[in-house]
Amino acid sequence: MLNKIEIYDTTLRDGTQGAGISFSLEEKIFLTHLLNELGIPYIEGGWPGSNPKDEMYFKKIREKKKKGELKGSQVFAFSSTRRKGVKTSEDFFLSKMVESKADGFCLFGKTWDRQATDALGVTLGENLNIIKESILFLKEKTKKPVFFDCEHFFDGYKSNKEYAIDVLKTALKAGADRVILCDTNGGTFSHECQDIIKELKTLSFPLHNFGFHGHNDCGMALSNSITTVREGFGHIQGTINGIGERCGNTDLVSVISNLQLKMKIQCIPSKKIKGLFSTSKKVWELTHGEGPPNQPFVGVNSFAHKGGIHVSALQKAPEFYEHINPNSIGNRRHILISELSGQSNIINTFGDRYPELKDKRKVKSILHAIQDKEKEGLSYEGADASLELFMRRVLGHNDSIMEKNYLKINDLDFGKKKMSEASLSLNFRGDKTMTVSLGVGPVDALSKALRKALTPFYPEIKNLKLTDYHVKIIDGHCGTMAKVRVSIKHQFLKNKAFTTIGMSENIIEASWQAFESAFTYFAFLKKDQSKKVSQI
């Protein structure tokens, strides 16, 4: 087993094979910089000639390289071996590979005998010639590294062991710098993967120049990647967050975290590993999602603890319920508070800011109040701001800054354009204020009306950005009379984001509750901040 492994990222190419995933040219450039900053040594940028965007991408990368940017990573171009019946010098995609002037090249070719004969329509001997000639062509024309992806290697090995081995030998003899065994269907179990590699070892292959490219159709991509490294492979391919076709690719976030933090095998510079969390988050944002909350290492719930016994034990020794320090990859611990929580959860979350929580009777009263709310269907889990405001009310604090007199929403039809109008009357600090605002929907109109009413008193509200609005049905069996839980996330400048909630049979009322809590919490934060400044 080696003490250092090459990481080859194919998020920009294989990752976009996933349903609903597409990156613009600007996003691909942004992600290239992001991966370079993370310290990824190899970045697969795209397939030259397959589309205009990838053509322009490699042009932009060349320009950036000339300016001295992207110094750390080598950006590779990807393509297939030459087409049957076409000379390498006349093959369109091979010519485009050369024109891309990429730092290196990754070719894929058939390893499964049936794929060669039935899908490609060539004899087994012809397929070997195609592989050999394609690698030789790129090596001679570019003098740059050429990697060879053995497509369907494991299925091919099971079908015709001798032929799969011939493909490996052909690629190596032609000068491939790395030979990557691909589990293209994602159907290989780790024990099969290990058995096959052990057989390859008996043939004296240079396994340190071998790599693995896995798909996750059986949920084995990570396990197989670790297995190949343990058997001596020196190269792993995958995508950030495991995005990709069907069930996805090997998740490089988990690969790097496991190898580097758990097995002490270097994948990226040690000082860069804290960037895994932010990198994962930014990739999810570009795919228009937040990612699974329980994603290993970087999910928002990866280090979230709800059980009171667990939280109590964490205070004594974090390793009791955390396999690594969450800060090591840029994540952080979350203590959740719900009906299942114990006193430790309350104290651990708020104890440093609320001395009155030293009184266990007050802690118990908070827990009982939370449990009563949860019986009604209102969960404070993941709603940090609403939870703190609720706890403060139980402790006797009054943070209310407004009282709603009435709220009226009208739907307006301007022909092709339909809008909503919110009329809002508030009592604010003893004064009555009225506002009317238009929005693209009732919730948008409500948000704008509330902001309009409060901005004269809190000008900083213009910097309070709504980043997420989510609705969950609480009791769906009640049909259209079901209660809904509205969750709203805001962020003020670069400060920590906070979440508030509301619950009602009426989605507008639930939204009002969540917005009211958000602006109340914002006012509380400003007041608390001013108080701290005055004490300095």
Lowest-pLDDT choice from 52-66, 107-121, 153-167, 459-473: 459-473
Tens digits of per-residue pLDDT, 362-419?
888 888 888 888 878 788 888 889 999 999 999 999 888 899 999 999 999 888 788 9
Q: What is the mean pLDDT of the chain?
A: 92
The better pLDDT of the pair 383, 218 is held by: 218
> CA-CA distance, 87 to 85, in Å (whole number)?
7
The burial of 101, by beta-carbon neighbours within 10 Å (0-12 exposed, 13-18 middle, 19 or more buried), is given as middle
pLDDT-based confidence at residue 535 (cuts at 50, 70, 90) = very low
Taking only the tens place, the pLDDT of each residue in 169-208 is: 999 999 999 999 999 999 999 999 999 999 999 999 999 9
What is the CB neighbour count within 10 angstroms for residue 116? Answer: 27
pLDDT at res. 307: 66
User: Given pLDDT bands bounded at 50, 70 and 90, which one contains residue 85?
Assistant: very high
Taking 80 as the threshold, does the pLDDT of residue 335 lie above it?
no
Average the pLDDT over 338-357 and give the result. 77
Write down the H helix ranges in 287-351: 308-316, 343-350
> DSSP string covering 172-211, please?
HHHT-SEEEEEETTS---HHHHHHHHHHHHTTT--GGGEE
Assess whether pLDDT exceeds 70 at residue 529. Answer: no
Residue 309 has pLDDT above 80, yes or no: no
CA gap 119, 130 in Å, rounded? 14
- CATH C-level class of 402-535: alpha beta
220-240: per-residue pLDDT in tens? 999 999 999 999 999 999 999
Of residues 239 and 473, which shows the higher confidence score? Answer: 239
pLDDT of residue 360: 84
| pLDDT tier at 320, thresholds 50, 70, 90 | confident
pTM score, whole prediction: 0.77
Q: Is a pLDDT exceeding 80 seen at residue 425? A: yes
In the chain, where the domains are located:
6-268, 292-373, 402-535
pLDDT of residue 214: 98
Tell me the average pLDDT across 311-338.
Answer: 81
Q: What's the pLDDT tens digit per position in 487-517?
A: 999 998 777 789 999 999 999 999 999 999 9
Residue 152: pLDDT above 60?
yes
Q: Using the predicted structure, report yes or no on whether residue 422 has a pLDDT greater than 50.
A: yes
512 and 490 Cβ atoms separated by less than 8 Å:
no
pLDDT at 229: 98
CATH number at 292-373: 4.10.430.20
The mean pLDDT of 148-152, rounded to a whole number, is 98
Question: 6-268: which CATH topology?
Answer: TIM Barrel (3.20.20)
Task: Mention every residue, 6+ apart, whose C-beta is less than 8 A from residue 41.
Answer: 6, 7, 8, 72, 73, 74, 268
pLDDT band at 345 (very low <50, low <70, confident <90, very high): confident
So what's the pLDDT on residue 531? 52
> What is the average pLDDT across 92-117?
97
Domains 6-268 and 402-535 fall in the same CATH topology: no
